[in-house]
Amino acid sequence: MAGERTGERVDGAADDGRYRHLIEHVQDAVVEFTLVDGEPIVGDVNRAFVDVFGYDADEIRGESLNAWVVPDWKIAEARELDANTASGEINYRQVARETATGLREFLYRGVPYAGDEERDEAPRGGFAVYTDLTEVSRNERRLEVLNRILRHNLRNNANVVAGHTTRLLAELDDQRGESVDVAATIERAAHELERLAEEANHIRRVLEHPTDEPADIDPEPTVRSVVADYRERTPSAEIEIETSVSRPVMADSRLRYAIDSLVDNAIEHNPSPEPRVRVRIGDADPDPNAASGEWVAIHVEDDGPRIPADERDVIRDGSAITPTHHGSGLGLWLAELTVETFGGELSFGESDLGGNDVSIRLRRR
């Protein structure tokens, strides 16, 4: 800090050295950048940035910050923040940014240099400060999901089993004809409980073993295995596979949980007697100005009813999880929690089949 200390003037060089010492040793990732035609060009990064993002200072210095840390589908958000910085505004926002091991969640603070008011000059750059919120955010949501959804769905299905068992016993005593329908309802509820228990166990395995070490897997064999299982299990469903790219992604064998859940969701929630599902693998939303193939997408598409907006919002947009607003089951949550464990992203769109396009984005190895 500039000023006086023990009667001596602190010169600019000493002040700059202390400032550099502070930036270098804070635990948050810090990037100093210059705005060139609105694009943040990296001037320097601190040690924490190298540790958290996994990019070496020498390879990113002089490069566009956005090109290195902003995934293609988040570029509009980043440009909005850059425009705020250029106008002298301090930014605070929770963001997802690309690291060497996939996406992570950060509290982003953009702090512009002070502009020259006398010359009416806007800031020419500033600092980007990233506080890693990944594990805190994930753990909070995991606890909310398991608490709200498990309690809600287990209670509802247990009530169905108990209530219809009472009716079935009464029908058997009276020898009336509703017994078959009541028994079928009990059977469906029991199968839903079995599936819920299976999904809960998969979530436990995902949460107990986070991917701390780099791992890679070719998703195509996993996709083909899942599709083969569902073709045998539900022969009335038409399930296609399309592959335009085959390369390893940052994931492990648990990727199967996510793909299985999405295919199951596409079939189970389609009222058609012959549901149609298409699973395809390709590049993830490549930016024509960026290097193609940095991310791979696994799309699970269907021709069924659209997933309700509130279910999409609570999973992807951070909407509050409450007793009445938490999604209808564990399938989509299993996919979301599995994918984010690998530093990926789950997204929702509309398929040309007429239904949903739920996609898994994973960084390629």
Which residues, 6+ apart, have CB-to-CB distance to 2 below 8 Å? 10, 12, 15
**Residue 239 near residue 263, CB atoms below 8 Å:** yes
| pLDDT for res 15 | 55
Query: Rounded mean pLDDT of 328-344?
Result: 83
Position 119 pLDDT exceeds 70: no
Residue 132's CB is within 10 A of a number of other CB atoms, namely 20
More confident residue, 352 or 156: 352
Identify the band that residue 365 occupies on the pLDDT scale cut at 50, 70 and 90: confident
| pLDDT for res 321 | 47
| pLDDT for res 8 | 43
Structure-block tokens of residue 262: 């999405």
C-alpha 59: how far from chain center: 27
Position 316 pLDDT exceeds 90: no
Query: Rounded mean pLDDT of 1-28?
Result: 57
Query: Rounded mean pLDDT of 240-251?
Result: 89
More confident residue, 7 or 53: 53
Domain residue spans of the chain: 4-132, 137-363
Closest CA to 201 of 307, 324, 338, 311: 338
What is the rounded CA–CA span in Å between residue 43 and residue 82?
15
Choose the most confident range, by mean pLDDT, from 89-103, 141-155, 285-299: 89-103
Structure-block tokens of residue 341: 């464990």
Position 286 pLDDT exceeds 80: no
Position 239 pLDDT exceeds 90: yes
| pLDDT for res 3 | 39
What amino acid is encoded at 157 in this protein? N
Identify the band that residue 326 occupies on the pLDDT scale cut at 50, 70 and 90: very low
What is the rounded CA–CA span in Å between residue 348 and residue 353?
14
Position 70 pLDDT exceeds 90: yes
Torsion of CA 47, 49, 54, 59, to 10 degrees: -80
Identify the band that residue 172 occupies on the pLDDT scale cut at 50, 70 and 90: low
Mean pLDDT of the chain: 79
Query: Rounded mean pLDDT of 206-225?
Result: 78
CATH architecture of residue range(s) 4-132: 2-Layer Sandwich (3.30)
CATH 3.30.565.10 fits 137-363, yes or no: yes
φ/ψ of residue 120, rounded to 5: 55, 45
Closest CA to 105 of 79, 139, 82: 139
Q: Which percentage of the chain shows pLDDT scores above 70?
A: 64
Identify the band that residue 270 occupies on the pLDDT scale cut at 50, 70 and 90: very high
